Every structure is written in structure tokens, then in C-alpha cells.
Amino acid sequence: MCYTCCMATVTKRQKALSPSVKAFIVEAVYEALNDPDRGLDLSEETKRRLAGAQTKQARVSLADVKKKLY
């Protein structure tokens, strides 16, 4: 299906939605994507734990993941 056809369908459907439904959808998307911790700093303990977790785990290359999945 082409992008233009999809957008035309979405545009037609948008016109059919009531303002209250549109407001509900916008609010739901905002809540799902909003980061309540944005702007907060990590504690030194958390930074230490994250750094330790990163060094303990073995890294897997994208090529290896593709081989395993495909």
C-alpha cells in the first residue's frame, strides 16, 4: 500500500472523529511518550550500577543477530 493512499484514508477518517475523541487520542499519545524523569539527574549509585552492568554483558554484533534470526 502506498504512503499517499494511506494518508488519504487517515485524513478522511480524521474528519469523522469528534473533537472529544481527537482530544482523548492526543492525550493518550502524550502520556505514552512523555518522560516523567526528563531533566532529573541519576544518582551516583545508579550511574555506578549502570556502568557495571554495561561491562559485564557480552556484546553481540548486528551481523550475529541477523544470522541468528534469519
Q: Model pTM?
A: 0.34
To which residue does cell 524523569 refer?
37
- Domain borders along the chain are 3-69
List Cβ neighbours of 50 (8 Å cut-off, separation of 6 or more): 42
* pLDDT of 18 above 90: no
- Quote the pLDDT of residue 4: 52
Please determine, for residue 44, whether its predicted confidence score (pLDDT) is greater than 90: yes
Give the pLDDT confidence score for residue 13 in this predicted structure: 58
Mean pLDDT of 21-48: 89
